[in-house]
Amino acid sequence: MRVCSTHGCPELYPASQGSRCPTHQAQADKARGAARQRGYNSKGHHAFRTAVIHRDPVCVACHLRPSTVADHHPHGRDELIRLALNPNDPRYGRGLCAPCHGRATVANQPGGWHTP
């Protein structure tokens, strides 16, 4: 069993369910918004992902595992939009495996994907 990682929440839940209790996980998911609202479920993003994974079939960080994630790099998706750059341009992406993408997200966005 694990205690919820949300400050002040004493809820215990099975550790296999992640770092938050079901209530706080649901709140975080709602605050994050749906994939379509974040722009990740569009034809443009699908083309971005396909092009990046095709160009980088092996993770560019560890060079050990197949790329499964098209990571926006060196700027995040929101920053590309603020800079008036096309976030769906494969030039602004790199292919990563899931573990390396998780490490990159922790390093660059400590609060998670929904953190500006």
72-92 residue pLDDT tens:
999 988 899 999 999 999 999
Which helix (H) or strand (E) segment is 67 a member of?
none
Judge if pTM exceeds 0.75: no
> Which is higher by pLDDT, 110 or 19?
19
> Which is higher by pLDDT, 104 or 56?
56
Dist. CA 47–CA 28, nearest whole Å: 28
**With contact defined as beta carbons under 8 Å apart, do 71 and 104 qualify?**
yes
What does pLDDT average to over the chain?
85
> Which is higher by pLDDT, 110 or 21?
21
Tokens linked to 74: 């060196």
Dist. CA 79–CA 91, nearest whole Å: 14
CA 27 to chain centre: 17
